[in-house]
């Protein structure tokens, strides 16, 4: 019984100590007595000094605060960047993405008409922080019809894989309050597509396969290097972007003729904004200029071309890692397709 009595005594002593401590805190928190007023020189009573409050536990940040405090390098670029997807970095290191873009192109001119269907398969992977690589494999079936006479029409149909492109996108710097962000791109184009140089004596035939400028589906059958820069700036609720790229094609020899495809400058500009957490709308102007072709040091000025397209696109998230992206393109100059519709499917893992 001695043990329980000693425990009870220790507990009572502890309670008395706590009561004494509480009384001391109450006396220290109480304001000092006000001095008696002096008739000679009345003074204002001193202000009471509040007692120091005990340190309170810091609450954990709310989800909104946690999002703002998170390192942006650890997050994917917002969905608005998908509108200029080919010139952006949207994957963290180790993440991958697979996309399939289906398209239909229709063009009508004075004596010719084009119809083209395409399927573009693209694989992307995040290599390092701010570095992303991709490989694009375009497949297409294209038909060009010529009206040689009111009752004579010839058709030329091509089914093939276009030029495969390997590309690396590198984030130069992020955007700041008064400075846009920048993405640098470098690409290698391989001559896997069919050759458009059907008639070497003329340098290039007018029946070459149509080109889809929104997907860089080209059949120039030449090695090429492309480099560019893409700028972007968030002006809530819009994301404004624009970029330019230069492509140089190396000379090739076919049927004893040395062809030098013209260099190409591509450019784009537009805006995108979020309709909701799952939907993003984009308006993009896409254009390029291709210099004239040379064959055996003879320049064919008529082969120089300029194209421009206005593209309306929607990025719709269907699941946490799945997106659907319909688009509509309208030609702005005579050398552009009249209309082009597309449907993209993107899956991230």
Mean pLDDT, to the nearest integer, of 150-166?
82
85 Cβ contact list (under 8 Å, min separation 6)? none
β-pairing, 181-189 vs 165-173, is: antiparallel
Fold exhibited by the domain 71-348? Porin (2.40.160)
What pTM does this model have? Answer: 0.72
Taking the CA atoms of residue 290, residue 296, residue 297 and residue 301 in that order, the dihedral angle to the nearest 10 degrees is -40
Radius of gyration of the chain (CA): 35
**What's the rounded Cα separation, in Å, for the pair 37 and 202?**
114
Per-residue pLDDT of 63-109, as tens digits, reads 444 333 333 444 456 788 899 989 999 999 999 999 999 999 888 87
Percent of all residues in the chain with a pLDDT value above 70, rounded to a whole number:
77
Nearest alpha carbon to residue 283 among 267, 268, 271 = 271
In this prediction, residue 198 carries a pLDDT of 54
Determine if residue 94 is left, alpha or beta; phi over 0 gives left, psi from -120 to 50 gives alpha, anything else beta.
left
Residue 284 confidence (pLDDT) above 80: yes
Inter-residue contact 174 to 72 (CB < 8 Å): yes
Which comes out higher in pLDDT, residue 114 or 92?
Answer: 92
Which comes out higher in pLDDT, residue 45 or 180?
Answer: 180
In this prediction, residue 31 carries a pLDDT of 58
- Mean pLDDT (the chain, rounded): 80
Q: Is 338 helix (H, G, I), strand (E, B) or coil?
A: coil
- Among 225-239, 308-322, 328-342, where is mean pLDDT lowest? 328-342
**What's the rounded Cα separation, in Å, for the pair 197 and 278?**
46
Burial class (CB in 10 A: 0-12, 13-18, 19+), 189: buried
Burial class (CB in 10 A: 0-12, 13-18, 19+), 280: buried
Which comes out higher in pLDDT, residue 21 or 276?
Answer: 276
Half-sphere exposure of 266 (CA within 13 A, CB side): 20
Residue 270 to residues 129, 150, 181, 314, Cα–Cα distance (Å): 26, 42, 15, 13
Mean pLDDT, to the nearest integer, of 214-218?
51
In this prediction, residue 289 carries a pLDDT of 93
């Amino acid at each position: 019984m001695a043990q329980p009595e000693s425990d009870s005594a220790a507990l009572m002593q502890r309670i008395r100590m706590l009561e004494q401590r509480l009384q001391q805190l109450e006396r220290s928190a109480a304001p000092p007595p006000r001095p008696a007023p002096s008739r000679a020189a009345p003074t204002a009573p001193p202000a009471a000094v509040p007692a120091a409050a005990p340190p309170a536990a810091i609450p954990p940040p709310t989800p909104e605060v946690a999002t703002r405090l998170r390192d942006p390098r650890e997050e994917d670029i917002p969905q608005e960047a998908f509108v200029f997807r080919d010139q952006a970095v949207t994957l963290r290191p180790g993440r991958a993405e697979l996309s399939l873009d289906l398209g239909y192109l229709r063009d009508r001119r004075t004596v010719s008409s084009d119809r083209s269907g395409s399927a573009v398969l693209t694989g992307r992977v995040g290599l390092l922080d701010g570095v992303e690589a991709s490989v694009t494999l375009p497949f297409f079936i294209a038909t060009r019809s010529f009206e040689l006479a009111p009752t004579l029409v010839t058709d030329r149909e091509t089914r093939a894989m276009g030029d495969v492109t390997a590309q690396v996108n590198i984030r130069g710097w992020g955007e700041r309050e008064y400075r846009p962000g920048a993405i640098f791109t470098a690409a290698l184009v391989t001559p896997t597509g069919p050759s458009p140089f059907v008639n070497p004596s003329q340098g290039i035939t007018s029946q070459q396969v149509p080109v889809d400028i929104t997907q860089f589906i080209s059949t120039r059958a030449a090695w090429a290097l492309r480099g560019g820069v893409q700028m972007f700036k968030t002006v809530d609720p819009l994301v404004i972007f624009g970029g330019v790229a230069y492509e140089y094609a190396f000379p090739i020899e076919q049927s004893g003729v040395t062809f030098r495809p013209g260099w190409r400058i591509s450019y784009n500009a537009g805006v995108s904004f979020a309709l909701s957490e799952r939907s993003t709308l984009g308006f993009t102007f896409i254009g390029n200029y291709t210099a004239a072709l040379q064959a055996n040091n003879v320049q064919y000025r008529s082969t120089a071309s300029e194209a421009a397209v206005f593209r309306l696109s929607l990025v719709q998230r269907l699941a946490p890692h799945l997106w659907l992206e319909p688009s509509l393109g309208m030609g702005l100059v005579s050398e552009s397709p009249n209309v082009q519709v597309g449907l993209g499917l993107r899956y991230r893992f």
